[in-house]
Structure 1
């Protein structure tokens, strides 16, 4: 086999005044061993055209194609196609200010949310010792998180003002104050211009697997930590109760009294209040199981093993206690209605009383009786609503686990969210002129496909457990498109609104871009996020896991994601049957099913097929390993070359050359340099023997 020799020349790029160096141009020449530089009968220029691979390099900290990208590094290649023509390929890697701006917004939102919750439970007034203990737990839990998040936000504000870059390096992934910031987040984009001059963009977001390295993985990741917690059901707070009570006492006239009492009955005689009263009944009859200040709140709803006698007693309590109160309200209200009819002469005109004082004297005793009946119902309802407020606060704080577990979950989610927002915005900007894509966004939502390269051995098991939960939390996030106030950079960055569990990311667009959007998007239709995760470990640690450990976590995650992906694709097919390529997905999905079910070691085919499905349905692609530096580089460059071969007829004989070139001199090598200060991938020769062949870098690029 012939060897390839390369030579290169580099030139610095400076500003016009010659003061600042802003980039570099590098021209590399490849020559096959055994071939003379100028064979007989060939001109030098013709030889260079057919045998030389050109590589241009430039980097800049200010050149950006949009306000959400910065610190770009670009590489430009020429690759030969099967028909002996040339592809022009531009590889671009960029940082994004979203690495810091999104985590800061999330921290601010969490601080506000927990501050409001503390205020809410403090306003409940005097409570019984048991309920006051619950309130004490909620306040302590929230105060702990508020203090930590305020400190973290202050540190991020300092870094934002001082740092010249917009990314967290792999060496800083365990930094306490950078917990919420994604590790090594970059957009990796490739523009391909075919011989006919047509260009197309491909992108993938790369970042370190969303995980809390600061807290480490001694006790596992979120999946394992949360499995130890008792699940609690959230209950809503019926805030209209107090408003209706106030209105009931304020109104003096009969018509308003009747209308407001009717509203009051409908508001309070509700399954929410009834279930809350039953829960209180369980608590008082079964005894309290609450343990203060340790985050362990046992579910106060009766166990399912209680027999039919217990359920019958509950029913009896419901009928005798709750319905009796409302029967009294109804009876007193009927008496007032009857008296009102008589006073207004509806039953006997001759008995009408014209005196206002006589009217009030006859009606007053009945109103007092109604007031007493309502007070009884209000007392029960107030107890129920106090219970609901506390249970809601408990369910969203201490019931989620100790503060450090909640903080871990928030941090992991923050890292994943920042990456997804970056990917979604690039996808949106690239599809603004595609009506089918825009219709898909508001009618079905956007697919977000994570590719993981983590092993299921050692600490990386905990990382995968963190990542899995963080991505599931993304399913409760939605995007909406808004019109930007101005075209200043700060006004074009996304903003976060809502509370944990129902966050909305608002993406602003300039007026000229916002105007042509479909009506549904301009009216604020939410764009739902559908996350899936496919993970295949490829390194030496995965070899140990497959021989001596356990890969069940990876298998379960892949199987669940396969099912979710099929559901999403079926929804797209049923909703948008005319979408290009959607009908051809069935074969790909069947292949993915078979690959996931196949018990094959390091079956990277799962990743390849999942990525193909994602691109067919206009999804957002993200790739992660531990720090997005080495294994991620192998995956991204392989994906780029596969796209060139399958969609742009890159010559098969030049496939390996292109792959080696991208790995040796491409953007991912620059990524290694900026993270660790070295131009070597962190692999050893022995380690690479355990890697799938297509994931091994060329000689001289690792060590």
Structure 2
């Protein structure tokens, strides 16, 4: 029987190479090797594929990882290794060849090979290893088809490679892309750099969680409307219209949830899909980009920035503006009623859970009975306060009147108001407190029989109190549901569409923010004093926008500005992972009261390193700010003849919030003065730039970004698609950082051009549109600041 030849499925294959013990040339310097990769398909001989260069070594080992360009037919691979100084002469140090099929079937998919010179002399060792491979069986005798995405290059053994520092973090990110930053060979600089980019699993994970919440939320509203007792004819018709609007909204959320649930492996939404209704809750083109900077003396650092298409409801359009203006025009009554209705449901569910915990503590005679009782009382007081506020809206008499005109009047709908209904709850609570106090006293004195009777009375009091509370909740829900019917049909419909837009923007923004904050929190684990300071003032989250105040992008700014402020309702806490599995390390999101809490799982050993208060789920808040400066030809047009007041106001608000955050952080960190003078100078420059009456330039963004880095904040940069203008901004920021670490001014432009033409950002552009080109044209670029223009040959007219 013929042996079947293993073939590859249509997936990427990554080939890692470690070359070590290279023969050193004359002089004290290390070889600084460069490898050129060739492949042979059996048709056209050897074809050059890629090359990488490494500036540095670890224990005389050099490593790179590469893949092949799309749909390449590969039989053999050849590696030519050069010393850097020999590249121009074409004289390589050694070569090695291997068959790709042999690599796939080798044990552990790893080959040990000798690197030999032209004379046949061994000049080093090569270890070749294949990963990210799916092997299938096939009887067909054909070569291996290999599909690739990225060219990777990595120096092993670095403590700064924190995407893989532990399972808690590595499970959140995927699709790692690395590129060396090739500094000019004439540069006397003593630094080297590598840029990384990776997708975040939060792009899919969090929207799915939020969509489940949204479906439950609006389904509860439908249940309340359906449960309203008999209404007179006009109100019946109004209710039917309202139900149609709510059911349409629920269907849209449910459809989005089904689509996302069917593609659980998808973590990336390309810029071309930003208007897709099926993927509207996913952030567009979300990546985490990190720049590693290494010094020859052995030190280094890393800087992170998240990039994405501006969180906005593209699927809903911007013909009437974005969230900022729509919220200003909308009736606040309907939005407030919807919020109170869901808050009521959430509080009642939480109260029910707390009552069960108290009952269980009584049954097992736990010492935490009094603590559980205090927690229950606190939640009950919050619920009763909400019900009392609803009663003051004077909707109760109107609801009763709408029901009184029907042929059958419910007996329990008397002249009682909600305030009167809360009195039995207060009485039941008073009795419950006395009985638990008596129970605890009996437990202390050891009276077992009396204690059993007290426990039974406590359980009975809990049951009676929850029954009376349920009556209050039902009556309050009826009043809130009737309040929705009092709104005109068109007003209710506009409000639900507005809520849909806000939910879409919140989902996209939260996924991006959680990705960045998780990285920041992991970095703070080893800095307990800084972690405690962040708990008191919050983590600074800085959004940098490159959107113009013209046409659709103005609506995107309005959506994004509201999404950023909604992050104020988000808090973070640490939890110990219950098991060592991928899903166990993905952050979870839960709604509580007026906001949301994100639980960040940690391995038990990392969780034990936290200060005591953080092991008890101490909450860490966010402090978001948003600066925007339009970088395109439409912004130039807006500066001449349009309205730029929106951008002016947003930047002024952001500046005020940033100054406030700096002031709070000063009081939390007692030794903050060593860099405080520099920060004050930066804030002063920022104030002058923001308040200047002339068109605002990108220097505002540069100053704000520097302040954010010095304050330990999370950086996010976005434009319409997250790949073109964003690429220019990120690479420019990385060069600024290299300058701070000693890159000479003469080498700035060559390094910038290299990053934009050979680095991560050009690959991300290809990932979105299928070509290694930025979506610019020559006319557009004339309106760009010079520092934001890509090198010739890297741009063309494309759909972005």
For the criterion TM > 0.5, the same-fold answer is yes
User: What does residue 212 of structure 2 align with?
Assistant: 108
What is the alpha-carbon distance in structure 2 between the residues aligned to residue 679 and residue 325 of structure 1? 70
Is 1:606 aligned with 2:632? Answer: no
Q: Is the 8 A contact 1:276 1:384 kept in 2?
A: no
Q: Is the 8 A contact 2:387 2:473 kept in 1?
A: no
What is the alpha-carbon distance in structure 2 between the residues aligned to residue 82 and residue 283 of structure 1? 84
Deviation at 1:429, TM superposition (A): 2.1
Is 1:626 aligned with 2:720? Answer: yes
User: What does residue 767 of structure 2 align with?
Assistant: 674
Is 1:641 aligned with 2:745? Answer: no
Q: Which is further off, 405-414 or 75-84?
A: 75-84
1:95-117: CA deviations, max 9, x gaps?
12211111111111211222234
What is the alpha-carbon distance in structure 2 between the residues aligned to residue 555 and residue 269 of structure 1? 41
Equivalence map 1:575-614=2 (5 Å): 575-579=668-672, 581-582=675-676, 584-614=678-708
Q: Could you tell me which of 727, 730, 755 is aligned with 1:662? A: 755
Q: Is the 8 A contact 1:174 1:214 kept in 2?
A: yes
Deviation at 1:599, TM superposition (A): 2.2
Q: Could you tell me which of 584, 592, 595 is aligned with 1:491? A: 584
What is the alpha-carbon distance in structure 2 between the residues aligned to residue 563 and residue 267 of structure 1? 36
User: Could you say what secondary structure the match of 1:621 adopts?
Assistant: strand
User: Could you say what secondary structure the match of 1:528 adopts?
Assistant: strand
User: Could you say what secondary structure the match of 1:187 adopts?
Assistant: strand
User: What does residue 224 of structure 1 align with?
Assistant: 325
What is the alpha-carbon distance in structure 2 between the residues aligned to residue 124 and residue 76 of structure 1? 65
Deviation at 1:440, TM superposition (A): 2.3
User: What does residue 175 of structure 2 align with?
Assistant: 71
Q: Could you tell me which of 483, 490, 507 is aligned with 2:600? A: 507
Q: Is the 8 A contact 1:577 1:583 kept in 2?
A: no
1:228-275: CA deviations, max 9, x gaps?
2122346565969x99xxxxxxxxxxxxxxxxxxx9xx9899876665
Is 1:683 aligned with 2:776? Answer: yes
Is 1:86 aligned with 2:190? Answer: yes
What is the alpha-carbon distance in structure 2 between the residues aligned to residue 221 and residue 324 of structure 1? 40
1:549-600: CA deviations, max 9, x gaps?
1111111111111111111111111222324634542222222111111123
Q: Could you tell me which of 276, 279, 282 is aligned with 2:393? A: 279
What is the alpha-carbon distance in structure 1 between the residues aligned to residue 348 and residue 390 of structure 2? 15
User: What does residue 543 of structure 2 align with?
Assistant: 450
User: What does residue 209 of structure 1 align with?
Assistant: 310
User: What does residue 364 of structure 1 align with?
Assistant: none
- CA spacing shift, 1:497–1:453, aligned 2, 3 Å: same
Equivalence map 1:12-411=2 (5 Å): 25-27=51-53, 58-59=151-152, 65=164, 66-79=170-183, 84-120=188-224, 122-123=226-227, 125-126=229-230, 139-161=243-265, 163=266, 166-232=267-333, 233=336, 235=340, 237=344, 276-280=390-394, 385=476, 388-390=479-481, 401-411=494-504
What is the alpha-carbon distance in structure 2 between the residues aligned to residue 76 and residue 626 of structure 1? 27
Q: Is the 8 A contact 2:542 2:624 kept in 1?
A: yes
Q: Could you tell me which of 15, 37, 50 is aligned with 1:11? A: 37
User: What does residue 440 of structure 1 align with?
Assistant: 533
User: What does residue 559 of structure 1 align with?
Assistant: 652
User: Could you say what secondary structure the match of 1:159 adopts?
Assistant: coil
What is the alpha-carbon distance in structure 2 between the residues aligned to residue 525 and residue 96 of structure 1? 25
What is the alpha-carbon distance in structure 2 between the residues aligned to residue 432 and residue 401 of structure 1? 45
What is the alpha-carbon distance in structure 2 between the residues aligned to residue 394 and residue 578 of structure 1? 58
User: Could you say what secondary structure the match of 2:393 adopts?
Assistant: helix
What is the alpha-carbon distance in structure 2 between the residues aligned to residue 382 and residue 417 of structure 1? 31
- CA spacing shift, 1:593–1:324, aligned 2, 3 Å: closer
What is the alpha-carbon distance in structure 1 between the residues aligned to residue 483 and residue 703 of structure 2? 43
1:273-294: CA deviations, max 9, x gaps?
6654553279759x99xxxxxx
Higher RCO (CA-CA < 8 Å; seq separation 6+): 1
Deviation at 1:194, TM superposition (A): 1.1
Gaps in structure 1 of 5+ consecutive residues: 1-7, 15-22, 30-43, 52-56, 244-262, 289-319, 330-376
Equivalence map 1:519-558=2 (5 Å): 519-558=612-651
User: What does residue 3 of structure 1 align with?
Assistant: none
1:413-451: CA deviations, max 9, x gaps?
111111101111111222321223311232221111000
What is the alpha-carbon distance in structure 1 between the residues aligned to residue 627 and residue 311 of structure 2? 14
Between Structure 1 and Structure 2, which shows a larger proportion of strand residues? 2
TM-score by length of 1: 0.72
What is the alpha-carbon distance in structure 2 between the residues aligned to residue 101 and residue 82 of structure 1? 47
Deviation at 1:622, TM superposition (A): 0.2
Q: Is the 8 A contact 2:590 2:598 kept in 1?
A: yes
What is the alpha-carbon distance in structure 2 between the residues aligned to residue 638 and residue 142 of structure 1? 47
- CA spacing shift, 1:174–1:593, aligned 2, 3 Å: same
Deviation at 1:506, TM superposition (A): 1.0
Q: Is the 8 A contact 2:588 2:599 kept in 1?
A: yes
Q: Could you tell me which of 491, 506, 513 is aligned with 1:413? A: 506
> How many residues get paired?
570
Give the aligned CA root-mean-square deviation in angstroms. 4.5
Q: Is the 8 A contact 1:188 1:203 kept in 2?
A: yes
User: What does residue 34 of structure 1 align with?
Assistant: none
Is 1:573 aligned with 2:666? Answer: yes
User: What does residue 339 of structure 1 align with?
Assistant: none
Gaps in structure 2 of 5+ consecutive residues: 1-33, 41-48, 56-81, 90-149, 154-160, 165-169, 353-376, 403-414, 425-467
Q: Is the 8 A contact 1:447 1:619 kept in 2?
A: yes
What is the alpha-carbon distance in structure 1 between the residues aligned to residue 517 and residue 656 of structure 2? 22
Deviation at 1:657, TM superposition (A): 1.2
Equivalence map 1:420-435=2 (5 Å): 420-435=513-528
Q: Is the 8 A contact 1:206 1:622 kept in 2?
A: yes
1:122-177: CA deviations, max 9, x gaps?
4554456787677656644443222111111111122225x5xx211111111110
What is the alpha-carbon distance in structure 2 between the residues aligned to residue 517 and residue 50 of structure 1? 53
1:208-228: CA deviations, max 9, x gaps?
001111122122212222222
User: What does residue 573 of structure 2 align with?
Assistant: 480
What is the alpha-carbon distance in structure 1 between the residues aligned to residue 304 and residue 218 of structure 2? 37
Q: Which is further off, 96-105 or 109-118?
A: 109-118
TM-score by length of 2: 0.63
1:31-50: CA deviations, max 9, x gaps?
xxxxxxxxxxxxx9896799
Q: Is the 8 A contact 2:395 2:479 kept in 1?
A: no
